[in-house]
Amino acid sequence: MAKQKPSLLKVHLPIQGYGLAVVSVGVALGTGLLLQRYSFHGVESLLFLFAIALTVWFGGSGPAVLAVALSSLAFNYFFTEPFYSLYIGTSELPYYFAFILFAILLTWFSTVRRRVERELLQSRDELQSEVAERTQQANLLNLTHDTIFVRDTSDIITYWNRGAQELYGWTAEQALGKHSHQLMQTEFPISIDEVHAQLLRAGRWEGELRKTKADGSRVVVASRWSLRRDERGHAVAILETNNDVSDRKRREEEIRKLNDELRKRTTDLEATNRELEAFAYSVSHDLRAPIRHIVGYTELLQKNSSSALDEKSQRYMMTILESAKKMGTLIDDLLAFSRIGRAETRATTVNLDLLVKEALGEVQQDTNGRNIAWNVGALPELYGDRSMLRLALVNLISNAVKFTRTRPRAEIEIGCLEKNKDEVVVFIRDNGVGFDMKYVDKLFGVFRRLHSTQAFEGTGIGLATVHRIIHRHGGRVWAEGLVDSGATFFLAVPSHRS
């Protein structure tokens, strides 16, 4: 509470009060004597009454008694007969009573006046301090970045903070006195009656509202309302805070759309996968059987009628057999290739040294009678599906063996390039027939071959299989070569779990 301010109309020290009594009575006496000298009689008592009144009003009750006593003495001594004596005649008594009564009356008045004055001062001070406090609070509300505004029960805006100005674009001067929902074209998710019912019941409401800014753009806000009631419980104001959630809403919407799209694509992909699987299954069962029958019956025919057939017919028969078997191999390779795409990968840490040894073992029967100089360097560990990686290595190594067949001394090198943190690059280099770099793009395609089947047998699926395996590992595969000067194949595979 603020300190009580001293009254200008009150004498505080007692000595001043008594002084005042002496001075005012003295002045009244002097004035009386002066007037007497000019034969102006009958106003002395009024002068003393005035002096008493002055003393009572400004000096309080103590000095008032002194003033009454002094006035009575002076009046008795100077203005009643016998003059210049303190004899009190009965005819003078009413004067002294009048002095005393007047003093008492004025003292009472003065007391009442002081009390009223004190009360007035007190309530003024209280009011001032409350105003100061309110102003401070309002200033604090103004400081916050949050949008805060207050409206009365008829939705007329009575307070509008800086955050509200920043969000909606209207200044406090523009917004105050306006109808809140009309100004901002508020759109409610539920009926406004329901909102009000909830607000009255719980004292608060929160929800998402769509509003319009001063520039006409739309905004979605998370809105919280609090109801302010007076002492009697009547609603007097609604405080509303708003947070702009338009960006969040937009992002949510985007995420939802992306998710929907993803779900749809996943469903499509699953359907495609199922179709592919059904296709592969059907190929596996139904396409292989006729091939087997062609081969089987041709063999039986050959066995039963070999003596009856001439050399040309024998050759025809052989061609049928070869073609059918080739078809069988193609189907098997194609199925194996499609299986890579369909099979689940089981990724573990794989020891590449061991894997290369196994792959070399697998191609051993193709190397019989060959002069091959193997140069296998130190190989790191990598992360992937062991059996798939093994298949990729077997394909590449058997390719190297195959395409160095024309060399009196084949040289095959398997090693690892400088390894960085995230991936391992393995290479397989041979001194075989190589290839023309202008066909490098066709190297990894299904059924793509750069050599005739007469020169080098094969179905054209091996490198496509390698490509698919490495791709499923999130890796890369590429090749470098020169006609008649060998080829190098590179595999880049993640070295650890991503």
Partner 1 sequence: MDILGRILMVEDDPKDVELTLTALGDYNLTNEVVVVHDGEEALNYLYRRGNFAARSNENPAVLLLDLKLPKVDGLEVLQQMKSDETLKMIPVVVLTSSREERDMVASYKLGVNAYVVKPVDFHEFVNAIKELGMFWAIINEPPPGSMRKK
* Residues at the site binding partner 1, with contacts judged by CB under 8 A: 280-281, 284-286, 288-289, 291-293, 295-300, 324-325, 328-329, 332, 335, 339, 343
For residue 347, which phi and psi values (nearest 5 degrees)?
-85, 135
294 closest CA partner among 310, 317, 313, 312: 317
Q: Are 63 and 24 in contact (CB under 8 A)?
A: no
Cβ 252 to partner 1, closest distance in Å? Answer: 41
Residue 206's contacts (CB-CB under 8 Å, 6 or more residues apart) are 222, 223, 224, 225
Identify which of residues 87 and 281 has a Cβ nearer to partner 1 in the complex: 281
Cβ 453 to partner 1, closest distance in Å? Answer: 18
Residue 409's contacts (CB-CB under 8 Å, 6 or more residues apart) are 371, 372, 373
Under DSSP, is residue 179 helix (H, G, I), strand (E, B) or coil?
Answer: strand
Cβ 341 to partner 1, closest distance in Å? Answer: 13
Identify which of residues 204 and 342 has a Cβ nearer to partner 1 in the complex: 342
Identify which of residues 261 and 322 has a Cβ nearer to partner 1 in the complex: 322
Identify which of residues 332 and 353 has a Cβ nearer to partner 1 in the complex: 332
Identify which of residues 269 and 343 has a Cβ nearer to partner 1 in the complex: 343
Cβ 287 to partner 1, closest distance in Å? Answer: 8
Q: Tokens 């596996």 correspond to what residue?
A: 284
Cβ 289 to partner 1, closest distance in Å? Answer: 5
The strand ranges marked E within 153-284 are 157-160, 204-212, 218-229, 235-244
Q: Are 345 and 384 in contact (CB under 8 A)?
A: yes
Identify which of residues 108 and 279 has a Cβ nearer to partner 1 in the complex: 279
Cβ 299 to partner 1, closest distance in Å? Answer: 4
Identify which of residues 15 and 343 has a Cβ nearer to partner 1 in the complex: 343
Cβ 300 to partner 1, closest distance in Å? Answer: 7
Cβ 345 to partner 1, closest distance in Å? Answer: 14
320 closest CA partner among 302, 307, 338, 303: 302
Identify which of residues 234 and 285 has a Cβ nearer to partner 1 in the complex: 285
Cβ 386 to partner 1, closest distance in Å? Answer: 16
Identify which of residues 390 and 429 has a Cβ nearer to partner 1 in the complex: 390
Angstrom distance (rounded) from CA 110 to CA 63 = 13
Angstrom distance (rounded) from CA 88 to CA 97 = 13
Identify which of residues 210 and 288 has a Cβ nearer to partner 1 in the complex: 288
Identify which of residues 209 and 388 has a Cβ nearer to partner 1 in the complex: 388
Pairing of β 381-385 and β 235-244: unpaired
Peptide bond into 14 cis (omega under 30): no
Per-position DSSP letters for 32-85, written without gaps between them: HHHHHHTT--S-HHHHHHHHHHHHHHHH-HHHHHHHHHHHHHHIIIIISSSTTS
Cβ 302 to partner 1, closest distance in Å? Answer: 9
Q: Tokens 């060998």 correspond to what residue?
A: 486
For residue 455, which phi and psi values (nearest 5 degrees)?
-70, -50
Identify which of residues 222 and 280 has a Cβ nearer to partner 1 in the complex: 280
Q: How far apart are the first and last CA of the chain?
A: 68
The strand ranges marked E within 56-171 are 147-152, 157-160
Angstrom distance (rounded) from CA 178 to CA 158 = 8
How many helices (H) and strands (E) would you count in the chain?
A: 15, 12
Cβ 327 to partner 1, closest distance in Å? Answer: 8
Residue 240's contacts (CB-CB under 8 Å, 6 or more residues apart) are 148, 149, 150, 151, 180, 223, 224, 225, 226
Angstrom distance (rounded) from CA 465 to CA 467 = 5
For residue 344, which phi and psi values (nearest 5 degrees)?
-70, 140
Cβ 296 to partner 1, closest distance in Å? Answer: 4
